[in-house]
Each structure stands twice: as C-alpha cells, then as structure tokens.
Amino acid sequence: MNPSSPPAPTLLDIENAHRLIRPFIHRTPILSCEGINHMVGCKIWFKCENMQKVGAFKARGATNAIRSLEPVQLKQGVATHSSGNHAQALSWAASLAGIKAHIVMPSNSSTVKVDAVRSYGGNITLCEPTLEARESTLASVIEQTGAFEIHPYNNLKIIAGQATATVELLEDKDDLEIVMAPVGGGGLLSGTALACHYLAPNIKVIAAEPAQADDAFRSFTQKTFIPSIHPDTIADGLRTSLGSLTFPIILAFVDQIVTVSEASIIVAMRLLWERMKVIVEPSSAVPLAVIMENPELFRNKKTGIILSGGNADLDQLPWII
C-alpha cells in the first residue's frame, strides 16, 4: 500500500490471524452446484461460512480479536453490543478462551437469539432498542466490569480475522476472477477485499447489498460516509452502517457495489436451500441475488462467494406466508 492508503491489516496481520485462529475454527467446505451455475450462466464456488463455528464467519474475527489481547486485558473479559451473530461469536470465543463476554442486546431481540448467546456463555444486559441506549449501556457495562470492547466490525483484528475466509477460498480455488461478499458494517467485505488485494490482485471484488439498506452503495458512489437510516431488509445482518475503519478500506480495494431487491434475495436464498441443500440466512443469499439480477456482469466468469452465515429462523421461512 502507498502512504495515502488507509490504516488496514497487512498481509502479515492476516497470516498471523489465520495461524492464531486455525485451531479453533472450521476450515469450511467450498461447494458448487451445477444446477445453479447452469441457471445463472457462470461458475460459482461458495465458501460455506454458514457451516463455521456459531454458524457464521464472525467466529473468525471474534477469535482473532480475543486471542490477540494481552493477558492483563483478557482478565476483565470482553464486551460488545450486538443482537446478531457477533454476539454469539464473541460469547463462544470468550468462553473457549476461559474469559467473560458481556453482551448488550436490545430488549426486542428474539428469544432465539438471546438464548443462543446465553447458550454460548454470554453475560447478557438488555437495553432499549436504540443505538443511543445500546452505546450508553455498553459504556456503563464497561465502566463496571473493566471489560475490553470488541466492536463487531470497526476493529482491525476483526477485519484481519474475517479476511481469513477469503485466504482459504483463494488457497483452495486459485483461478477465481471475481470474489463477492455481502456488505453490512463492512468487516467481512473489507477483509475480503484486502485478502484479494494481497494474494490475487487481479480478482475483481464485488460487494452485494440490499437496495433497501443501500448505505454502503451510496457511500461508495459518493465517496462520503452516509449512515444507514431505517434500513428495511430481510437481510438482518446487513442493516448496519459502515465504520470509520471499514469504509476507507472498501473505498480503496472494492471494485463495485451492486444492490438488489428483497424479492431476489428470497429467491436466491430458496435456491441455495433447494439446490445446494445448505441452510443460509438471508444476508448470505445477497451475492447470488446480485448475480441473478445482473447475469451479464458474471457471464462465464469464475466467481467465489462467501456464504456469510446460516442462522436462519426455521420457524419463519420467508417464502411461507
């Protein structure tokens, strides 16, 4: 990177992250499906992070962030606010490291999610479901416990950890022409883009975002940070705004962000369930939805997709009304 580059994990940081987390995470399988390839007119390899520990790539970043802490920092535990996969991942990684995880969750979180965090050993504090309440509650939890905050994505150790999914994808499949990831806060996307930049700079990195939560697309296009306001998408992992660390990396190393409709996300999700026989949550289906809506961008191209997570609600399938 040249001197004007944003602060970002180096290749060595990412390699170190991989070495550090490898004993604890799954090397997830890479699947492809002729039926889907035939349907969309390109060849896709899916990196199945839905089969990762806790059912999402978040296990990578959380493990790297915790395992990188000094012993004195570890003693007081870690803390975050999250209602999603990061809450589960941090609780799981903390428990494996023998430390406490303090998780601030909005009071309207589903029972399933609260129970999941609790099952991984997370110490939950509920708060009002606003960003302000989440941040102030987290601040007071940290003040009381001395816990170390691990942000879900605006953290260089998290970004380096998420990058390792793409490192494995490129190791196992070395002739990809396009790599895709969904974008919410940008932790996965910035890690994906960095891994491609360092290891296979000719690969085109395309991010996928719901049109009804298109803050990253607008920020990227206008080259200025635009927060996510009232995102209204079924892809609940992608409702967050970019971070001060992730946005500059995305601006520097992502080639394109493409948005898609909710209807396409649901069709793509069902296709992955039905044809590839894997459970993915809606956020994971957004890249395939982009390909289905824009086949000409991908025609005959070898494309890798990070399937980000599999924590779908099995009682509320979006195609059953």
Question: Which residues bind to a copy of itself, rule: CB under 8 A?
Answer: 29, 31, 48, 50-51, 55, 270, 273-274, 276-280, 310, 314-315, 317, 319-320
Which of 47, 51, 53 is closest to 31 using CA atoms? Answer: 47
What distance in Å separates the CA atoms of residue 67 and residue 62, rounded to the nearest whole number?
Answer: 8
CB nearer to a copy of itself: pick between 210 and 310: 310
The least CB distance from residue 31 to a copy of itself, in Å, is: 7
Q: What residues have CB less than 8 Å from 283, skipping those under 6 apart?
A: 182, 184, 235, 236, 237, 238, 308, 309
The least CB distance from residue 27 to a copy of itself, in Å, is: 11
CB nearer to a copy of itself: pick between 30 and 297: 30
Q: Please give the single-letter amino acid code of residue 47.
A: K
Which of 91, 97, 55 is closest to 74 using CA atoms? Answer: 97
CB nearer to a copy of itself: pick between 225 and 273: 273
DSSP 140-160: HHHHHH-PEE--SSSSHHHHH
The least CB distance from residue 33 to a copy of itself, in Å, is: 9
The least CB distance from residue 96 to a copy of itself, in Å, is: 11
What's 309's DSSP letter? B
54: left (phi over 0), alpha (psi -120 to 50) or beta: left
The least CB distance from residue 109 to a copy of itself, in Å, is: 18
What distance in Å separates the CA atoms of residue 17 and residue 133, rounded to the nearest whole number?
Answer: 32
CB nearer to a copy of itself: pick between 74 and 278: 278
Q: Please give the single-letter amino acid code of residue 267.
A: V
The least CB distance from residue 314 to a copy of itself, in Å, is: 6
CB nearer to a copy of itself: pick between 72 and 320: 320
CB nearer to a copy of itself: pick between 116 and 193: 116
